[in-house]
Chains A and B, each alone.
Chain A
């Protein structure tokens, strides 16, 4: 168990059954008064923010979270299945939990899955992924309209802006942190 003295930024605790990350913390103590421990916490499942104030003597259950390397297997409806290649354990995550990460999930991609007990609550992706362009307009040579990008759809269904010289069937590198085109995979 943690006590109020353990509170600091980055601490992970369980509140009402959900894991929370302490994102801001301050100790306040008016002259001659009781100490108050002010926290701002982020729910690690749905991302919502919460302000809570604690007093001396209160305690918290630590949230034990585990990160495991898993492979993305398949999608069914809005459920995405991942598997640990060592233990063959499988976990399922909803589209809503995945957020933007779903744009880069190609079968067999290795990702880090964050587990809270048995429940998968998020994934971290490699910073760069390679995806094949499945649809984009032909670049009309001599186009002088000044547009320096055009839309392109990649094999996961994700649509992004790419330079005009990118053609259908090409493999491109996407930065998963920004969602933007990075470079073209040569050869």
Chain B
């Protein structure tokens, strides 16, 4: 059982790598141990040596590569987020991230379609669909796009801004919206998030309350998070400081700012980048409901 899962995992990773190589992306490796991640309200890095943390995402280093002239890059690497463990979470997990210059989040949505169709062709040639919680998701059927505002109104009969104000955003999202998305037999893109939920994303041109951010859902499982990148260093610093304020107010430790990243950010061209959970991609390919089934070892087994 586990042997099959490991073969499938290897195939998914190989198919992903081939997909990006064939499209002219440069595969990069950036350091996993770094002095500072992007500070976020609810993501806690694993701190190892004094003043060094394991990456929670490779985004800081990958964006610095965009500043040095690289136009299309991807990376498959391990990330660590303290105390995250559940049927869809591991504290140490595998992330795929890719970045492109001279485009916005719309281009990434097309990348997602092509990537998932490619993986289905290579890894599921006979079956032809992904599965989660007994729902079959066909990546060749037309993808649905719903804005966050519409989703909250349509499925929850509530206004997303009200939910944010009352601290109910996560509850409504995970207990109403995601279960509603679980019924779709095609992939769903939830897009245009309230700006406060996208610390590193550019706001939408013409509506500064919204960010050009999207999440990809398959069978209600959140698979990827992408956005048009913010490249205004002052605005970025403000948002990092806001995140730290929320952290200190809720009794969490303040996090160091990634200064070299902030110093270079002004030189980053208009770009878009996305993070996809590789373990979840393997879960969907294997058609299993728990992340435990597709890793060599869970932390509890170590």
Contacts and interface: CB of A to CB of B under 8 A. Distances in A.
B169 A35 contact: no
Nearest to A5: B83
Interface residues of A, number: 15
Interface string B182-203: 0000000000000001110000
B84 A33 contact: no
B170 interface: yes
Interface in B31-65: 40-43
Contacts of A53: 171
Contact of B86 (A28, A32, A56, A57): A28
A172 to B, nearest CB: 44
Given A34-B170, A57-B250, A29 B84 contact: yes
A30 B84 contact: no
A32 B199 contact: yes
B169 A33 contact: yes
Contacts of A5: 83
B225 interface: yes
A27 to B, nearest CB: 3
Q: Is the interface of A mostly helix, strand, loop or mixed?
A: loop
A29 B83 contact: no
Given A5-B83, A35-B42, A35-B84, A30 B173 contact: yes
A23 interface: no
B87 A26 contact: yes
Contact of B215 (A26, A31, A35): A31
A32 B173 CA distance: 12
Interface in B78-101: 83-89
Contacts of B197: 32-33
B40 A32 contact: yes
B83 A32 contact: no
Contact of A32 (B84, B85, B87, B198): B198
Contacts of B170: 28, 30, 33-34, 36
Q: Count chain A CB atoms within 10 A of each CB in B43, B87, B174, B251 and give the residue with the most.
A: B174
A125 B84 CA distance: 40
A77 to B, nearest CB: 46
A64 B85 CA distance: 26
Nearest to B198: A32
A34 B42 contact: yes
22 contacts: A26-B86, A26-B87, A27-B87, A28-B86, A28-B170, A28-B174, A30-B170, A30-B174, A30-B222, A31-B222, A31-B225, A33-B169, A33-B173, A34-B170, A35-B83, A35-B84, A36-B171, A36-B174, A53-B171, A56-B250, A57-B250, A57-B251
Interface of B: 40-43, 83-89, 169-171, 173-174, 178, 197-199, 215, 222, 225, 250-251
